[in-house]
Amino acid sequence: HSVWVSTDHDEIEKVAKQFGAQVHRRSPEVSQDSSTSLEAIREFLNQHPEVDIVGNIQATSPCLHPSDLIKVADLLQKEGFDSVFSVVRRHQFRWSEVKKGENKMTEPQNLNPAKRYRRQDWPGELYENGSFYFAKRHLIEKGYLQGGKMAYYEMRAEHSVDIDIDIDWPIAEQRVLRFGYFGREPLKEVKLLVCSIDGCLTNGRIYVTEDQKQMVSYDYRDIVGIGLLKKRGIQVRLISERDCSKTLSAMQLGCVAKASATNKLQVLEDWQKDMGLSWKEVAYLGNEESDVECLRKAGMSGVPADACVVAQKAAGYICKSNGGCGAVREFAEHIFLLLEKVTSARKQ
């Protein structure tokens, strides 16, 4: 009935409220490095007597889908379970640990080496994946997240992502791009990418020669990225607040462009309507405050790594590359991953 973010951090509180969550401000006593989730939840319940079921959703599992949570809530509310937690099926053979200096052999834990079967023929085992823990109030007040009439909820392997250490992060990023939750509306193919020239296609710097001629630089990888987008049937259009018509002519990109755009959102809306596209079919790559409204409107939005803070907050994807240093190519790859997801959904 309500969604809360538990934190003691001002910035996290601000972001949580921007996305419509309510905030439980943790006390210092349950905000230590050694504090447990259970301690924070019990503190929350002490302040909210109206709550009788808590779903503790872990921020380190970013591929969780709403449909899973709805099914779990039904298990507690309609089928009478006291607690439900998430698991994933794994096909891993376990062996006993032999500590250094011990004079003994390892032993198989869940297999018979004499009758070793193929892992794909084995049903596997269920492991907690830490994605969520649902429990009724009376259990939590006793100090348990699991207990009473218990049930597990088996998540799909592709949705089971857990970030524990640094090397998990890039793997999680790719999983989220392929299997993450993209909203209630059906996915649609991107048919138009609008890219801000200054700070995205270029690095935003203008070089002036002694004879007062202006020059800009761009990354050839970005030009390749634009070419790949076109081959996939995606139109690429460029936009700039300054008069850069000579620069565009010299780059010979073959893209529709609008220079001296005093209102980027109006230009974007005109293009979207002229092409008969829904906002879900429009992608936008920007980097400045003047791009914020466009980033919010577009179905897919991105910014280079060095974009201004307000643009980063408005974007759905932040590139690892800076503007003029491969950000366009990187964002193109992000779009291709979405297209793969659309194709896969259609096949299913």
Cβ 322 vs Cβ 284: under 8 Å: no
Q: Please give the pLDDT value at position 347.
A: 65
pTM: 0.68
Domains and their CATH numbers in the chain: 52-91+122-165 (3.90.550.10), 192-346 (3.40.50.1000)
Q: Please give the pLDDT value at position 283.
A: 95
Q: Please give the pLDDT value at position 184.
A: 72
Distance CA 85, CA 137 (A): 15
Cβ 92 vs Cβ 83: under 8 Å: no
Q: Please give the pLDDT value at position 18.
A: 84
- Catalytic positions are 116
Cβ 110 vs Cβ 93: under 8 Å: yes
Distance CA 23, CA 137 (A): 19
Q: Please give the pLDDT value at position 185.
A: 67
Q: Please give the pLDDT value at position 173.
A: 81
Q: Please give the pLDDT value at position 248.
A: 67
**Amino acid letter, residue 153:** Y
Distance CA 75, CA 299 (A): 34
Q: Please give the pLDDT value at position 330.
A: 94
β-pair type (300-303, 317-318): parallel
Long-range pairs for 46-55: beta carbons < 8 A, 24 or more residues apart: 51/2, 51/137, 52/136, 52/137, 53/77, 53/134, 53/135, 53/136, 53/137, 54/134, 54/135, 54/137, 54/140, 55/132, 55/133, 55/134
pLDDT in tens, the chain (348 residues): 899 999 999 999 998 998 889 999 999 999 999 999 999 999 999 999 999 999 999 989 999 999 999 999 999 999 999 999 999 999 889 999 999 889 899 999 998 898 888 877 888 999 999 999 999 999 999 999 999 999 999 999 989 988 989 888 888 888 887 788 877 766 678 999 999 988 898 887 777 777 777 667 778 899 999 999 999 999 999 998 888 776 766 667 788 888 888 899 999 999 999 999 999 899 999 999 999 999 999 989 999 999 999 999 889 889 999 998 999 999 999 888 888 777 766 666
Q: Please give the pLDDT value at position 250.
A: 62
Q: Please give the pLDDT value at position 287.
A: 94
Q: Please give the pLDDT value at position 266.
A: 95
Q: Please give the pLDDT value at position 322.
A: 93
Q: Please give the pLDDT value at position 348.
A: 61
